[in-house]
A and B are shown apart, each in its own frame.
Chain A
Amino acid sequence: MKPENPFVALLSLLVGLLFLSPVLYSIWMSFQTADDFYAGRVTFTLDNYERAIGQFNFARYLINSLIVSGLVTVLGITVATLAAFAFARFRFPGGDLMFGATVATLMIPSHISLIPNYLTLAKAGLLDTYAGLILPAISNGFACFFLRQYMRGIPKALDEAAYMDGATHLQVLWRIIVPLSRPAISSMALYIFIAEWNNYIWPLVAVGKQDLYTLQIGLARLYRINPGEGLIDWPLVMAASTITILPVLLGFLAVERHLVRGITMGAVK
Chain B
Amino acid sequence: MSGISLRNIRKAYPGGPTVLHDVSMEFQPGEFIVIVGPSGCGKSTLLRLIAGLERADAGEIKIAGKRANDLPPQDRDIAMIFQNYALYPHMSVRENIAFGLELRGMPKAERNRRAEEVARMLQLEPYLERKPGALSGGQRQRVAMGRAMARNTSTFLMDEPLSNLDNALRVAMRTEIKDLHRQLGATIVYVTHDQTEALSLADRVAVMKDGHLLQFDRPDVIYDRPANRFVAGFLGVPPINFLPTEKLPGCAGLAGSDDLTAGLRPDILAVHTAQPAGPSLAARVVMAEMTGSDLLLHCDTAAGRLTALAPRLALGGGTEQVWISYDLDRALFFDNQSGARVDYVPGDRQIR
Chain A residues engaging chain B, CB cutoff 8 angstroms: 155, 157-158, 160-168, 171, 175-176, 179-180
Contacts and interface: CB of A to CB of B under 8 A. Distances in A.
Contacts of A166: 74, 100, 103-104, 151
Interface stretch (B20-28, B78-86, B317-325): B78-86
B147 interface: yes
Interface of B: 51-53, 72-74, 78-80, 82, 84, 86-90, 99-100, 103-104, 147, 151
A145 B80 CA distance: 32
A163 B86 contact: no
Contacts of A171: 103
B78 A164 contact: yes
Contact of B74 (A157, A158, A167, A180): A167
Contacts of A161: 80, 82, 86-88, 147
Nearest to B52: A163
B133 to A, nearest CB: 12
B84 A157 contact: yes
Nearest to B98: A165
B80 to A, nearest CB: 5
Given A164-B51, A165-B103, A180 B89 contact: yes
A238 B139 CA distance: 59
B53 A155 contact: no
B88 A176 contact: yes
Contact of B90 (A155, A163, A164, A180): A180
Contact of B72 (A157, A158, A163, A176): A163
A116 B82 CA distance: 51
B84 to A, nearest CB: 6
A269 to B, nearest CB: 14
A158 B73 contact: no
A93 to B, nearest CB: 13
A179 B100 CA distance: 17
Nearest to A178: B90
B93 to A, nearest CB: 14
A222 B15 CA distance: 64
Contacts of B147: 161, 165
23 contacts: A155-B86, A157-B82, A157-B84, A158-B86, A158-B89, A160-B86, A161-B88, A162-B99, A163-B52, A164-B51, A164-B53, A164-B78, A164-B80, A165-B74, A165-B99, A165-B147, A165-B151, A166-B103, A166-B151, A167-B74, A167-B103, A171-B103, A176-B88
A176 B86 CA distance: 11
Nearest to A160: B53
Given A160-B73, A161-B86, A162-B88, 18 more contacts: A155-B84, A157-B82, A157-B86, A160-B86, A161-B82, A161-B88, A163-B53, A163-B72, A164-B51, A164-B53, A164-B79, A164-B80, A165-B74, A165-B147, A166-B74, A166-B100, A167-B74, A176-B88
Contacts of A163: 52-53, 72-74
Contacts of B89: 158, 180
Contacts of B51: 160, 164
Given A163-B72, A166-B103, A158 B53 contact: no
Contacts of B90: 179-180
Contacts of B87: 161
B15 to A, nearest CB: 12
A216 B276 CA distance: 102
B91 to A, nearest CB: 8
A188 B169 CA distance: 43
A166 B106 CA distance: 12
